[in-house]
Structure formats: C-alpha cells, structure tokens
Amino acid sequence: MSLGLPFHYDETITIGSRQLSPDFIGARADGRLVFHEHCGLNSESYRARSDWKSGLYASADIYPGDNLIYTYDDPEGNINTRLIEAVIRDAYML
C-alpha cells in the first residue's frame, strides 16, 4: 500500500512528562498531524499499554476520529490492507 503520504515511524514524542512512540505520525494536507497506532498483539500487557497510551493521547487533545487512528490485526494475526487503507484515506481526507 503506497499512498504517497510523508510519515515518521516510531518517532518519540513527549506529552507532559511522559514519552511514547506512535507507530506512525503523518501530516494532512492542511499540516495537521495524524497519529496512527496499529494494534497487532492480543495480550493483556499489550492491551494495558494501549489503554495507557489512549489516556495520554487524550490529555494532549489527540482523539480517535479526529487526529488519532487505530488499525488492528484480525484475531488470527492477519492484516486487512484494504480496510487499513480506507481508514488512512479517511483520516487524511484523501
């Protein structure tokens, strides 16, 4: 999948006194940043970290449906690239 979007992968950002690394950070045509988390694992510790990150994002006005997108593997660990592309196109208003 190549949409020609400039992005950074696993770049560390700081929110308050905490640091985290979104899977991807990109910019819309209007310059607004979009943060992208891909949830590929289905373990308790992974879900706990994801929940922690969601709270931290919210504290910085980074919200799903606005400037944060989540994509997921299916229960067998497969990736639906068409669905992920649709989510990305929507988030970037393409």
pLDDT means per 10 residues, the chain with 94 residues, are: 73 93 91 90 77 92 93 85 89 81
d(CA 56, CA 90): 23
Tokens of 18: 């905490």
Q: How far apart are CA 37 and CA 24, in angstroms?
A: 7
Distance spanning both ends of the chain, measured CA to CA: 14
pLDDT at 56: 94
What is the C-alpha radius of gyration for the chain, rounded to an integer number of angstroms?
13
Positive or negative torsion for Cα 2, 37, 23, 92: positive
What pLDDT sits at residue 67? 94
> Which pLDDT does position 1 carry in this prediction?
53
**pTM across the whole model:** 0.84
26 φψ region: left (φ > 0), alpha (ψ -120 to 50), beta (else): beta
